[in-house]
Amino acid sequence: MTTTTLPSPETKADEDSSKSAKLFARSKALIPGGVNSPARACKSVNSNPIFMDHADGAILVDVDGKEYIDYIGSWGALILGHKHPRVLEAVEDALQRSTSFGTPTYLELEFAEQVTKMMPNIEMLRLVNSGTEACMSAARLARAFTGRSLIVKFDGCYHGHADTFLIKAGSGLATLGISSSPGVPAEVANLTLSLPYNDLGAVEKAFKEHKDKIAAIMIEPIVGNAGLILPTEGYLKGLRELCTTHGALLIFDEVMTGFRVAAGGAQALYSIKPDLTCLGKIIGGGLPVGAYGGRRDIMERIAPHGDVYQAGTLSGNPLAVSAGLAQLKVLQTPGIYDRLEAKTKALADGIQEICKKAKVPAQVVHTTGMLGLFFTDKPVIDFESAKKSDTEKFARFWQELVKRGVYWPPSQFEAVFVSLEHGSSTIEKTLAAIKESLS
């Protein structure tokens, strides 16, 4: 990973009189690092976080009144853009009934029916409050179902902050250069094997060495937490076959890709049937929610039907379920994913052309609704190759884009999210800003 030598955010803070800078100074006194999630800190791009005030469509507006074209979309949740009328109406309707019940509601059932309709590999579904909870619960269930202890994950893939997954993880850990976290006991870390992504041979070797000890493979089928990295041809199919052969479960973490890259997620896009699937982001419509589901025989092990305990006071919260349900129904509109793919491709092709003309070494990768830009002349196929990209150049690039009103993810190791609200003129403005930022 290239070491950034630009002026530190602290130095810039002394010269910054913006409302964001003042709010950040106050926040640091009460909130660790001044933020409630590390990726928001903007440390790797040598900046201070920008505090937002409101948003509409594809536009963010900060507390100083400056507008930005939004390419994080609440980190992938807002595929319809900010303040979509159907989502707002659903939340307002739910709000009139109550903010929470702590009892079953018909909304939870309707939500489960909608998810299983759009993602038929999920035969039963359990709602939780975040992607972290979903992945943590799926791992526990896999261990109980198989009677095994080891979980295989992949370098640069991020499955939330549960102890099991904080080993060579992506997202904020990659952004801050943290390979694992203090506070995770060695005994827990030793129950997780982290392997290179896109290396089927490494997985075959792990099964040979650990035989009947591997409970499950947990994977982002399309990596979005180390920048965007696509699976090589046959890789996901190979993982499916290895799990079937060795009696392990295949768990797809589609918190990011679920209902974004296709109506049925990455598993539909690549025609792979996982045993369990973890969901989040889009299924909440911008409100906190997560879910995990899959084969009926596995899911029936969950309490109270079975013996694997998992619970949550706010699981199935009516506001979150209503927002997510409204968003999922809109995503059933015929041709909507074709439109999203066209927008994403236009942005990716435009960036590729700009980099080529400017003679800037770059890898531009995209799938429907997601994009990755790495400043390197070598293909990016895993976390190791992603770390060889020029992060100092990325930091300067990010700062120049912000000056020009484009809010790009503030880390080389995060995916860019395109929404259905990014129109052709918005993309043209973005490409103009990118061209100036790379000149």
pLDDT tens digits for range 41-56 = 898 899 999 999 999 9
Quick one: pLDDT at residue 3?
A: 41
In tens, the pLDDT along 213-230 reads 999 999 999 999 999 999
Whether the pLDDT of residue 174 is over 80: the answer is: no
Virtual torsion, Cα 174, 178, 181, 186, nearest 10 deg: 100
Which residues are known to be catalytic?
Answer: 158, 253, 281
* Measured distance CA(171)–CA(272) in Å, rounded: 25
pLDDT digits (tens, 9 = 90+) for 129-166: 999 999 999 999 999 999 999 999 999 898 987 777 77
Per-residue confidence (pLDDT) for residue 7, from 0 to 100: 47
Q: What is the mean pLDDT of residues 83-91?
A: 98
The pLDDT of residue 16 is above 90 = no
Q: In whole angstroms, what is the distance from residue 303 CA to residue 140 CA?
A: 12
Task: Give residue-wise pLDDT tens across range 260-294.
Answer: 999 999 999 999 999 999 999 999 999 999 999 99
pLDDT (0 to 100) of residue 161: 79
Give me the phi and psi of 117, to 5 degrees please. -70, -40
* Structure token pair of residue 142: 């896999």
Residues 86-97, mean pLDDT to the nearest whole number: 97
Q: Look at 192 and 393; give whichever has higher pLDDT.
A: 393
58 near 67, Cβ under 8 Å?
no
Helix, strand or coil, per DSSP, at residue 275: coil
| pLDDT beyond 90 at 188 | no
Write down the CATH number for the domain with range 9-82+335-438. Answer: 3.90.1150.10
> What's residue 200's pLDDT?
97
Contacts with 319 (C-beta within 8 Å, 6 or more apart), sequence order: 91, 94, 95, 99, 100, 287
Concatenate the DSSP letters of all residues of 164-226 into one string: GG-BS--THHHHTT-SB-TTS-HHHHTTEEEE-TT-HHHHHHHHHHHGGGEEEEEE-SSB-SS
Position 185 pLDDT exceeds 60: yes
Measured between alpha carbons, how far is 411 from 193 in angstroms, rounded to an integer? 26
What number of CA atoms fall less than 13 Å from residue 307's CA on the CB side? 4
Given this model, what pLDDT does residue 168 score? 56
pLDDT band of residue 184 (cuts 50, 70, 90) is confident
Provide the residue count of the chain: 439
Tokens representing 355? 């980099």
Band (375; pLDDT cuts 50, 70, 90)? very high
Those residues whose C-beta lies under 8 Å from the C-beta of residue 143, and which sit 6 or more positions away, are 149, 151, 215, 216
Average pLDDT over residues 242-250: 98
Q: Could you tell me the pTM of the whole model?
A: 0.91
* CA separation for the pair 366, 14 (Å, rounded): 38
Q: Which has the higher per-residue pLDDT, 101 or 211? A: 101
pLDDT in the model for residue 176: 42
How much is the mean pLDDT over the chain? 92
DSSP at 3: P
Report residue 140 CA to chain centroid gap.
21
Has residue 2 got a pLDDT over 60?
Answer: no
Residue 365 pLDDT = 97
Where do the domains of the chain lie?
A: 9-82+335-438, 85-330
What does the pLDDT read at residue 115? 98
- Using one digit for the tens of pLDDT, what is the confidence trace for 120-136? 999 999 999 999 999 99
Q: What is the mean pLDDT of residues 100-107?
A: 95
pLDDT exceeds 70 at position 170? no
pLDDT at residue 173 greater than cutoff 50: no
Contacts of 64 (CB under 8 A, 6+ apart): 18, 19, 20
- The pair of three-digit structure tokens given for residue 160, joined into one six-digit string: 């939330």
CA angle 132-148-112, nearest 5°? 40
The pLDDT score that the predictor gives to residue 285 is 95
Sign of the Cα torsion 425, 66, 352, 196 reads negative
15 — pLDDT class (breaks 50, 70, 90): low
Find residue 407's DSSP bridge partners. Answer: 70
- What percentage of residues in the chain have a pLDDT greater than 90? 85
DSSP H/E element including 153: strand 150-154
Q: Does CATH number 3.40.640.10 belong to domain 85-330?
A: yes
The pLDDT assigned to 86 comes to 98
∠ at Cα 340 (338, 343), nearest 5°? 110
For the chain, the straight-line distance linking the first and the last C-alpha, in angstroms and rounded, comes to 23
Local confidence band at 38 (pLDDT 50, 70, 90 cut-offs): confident
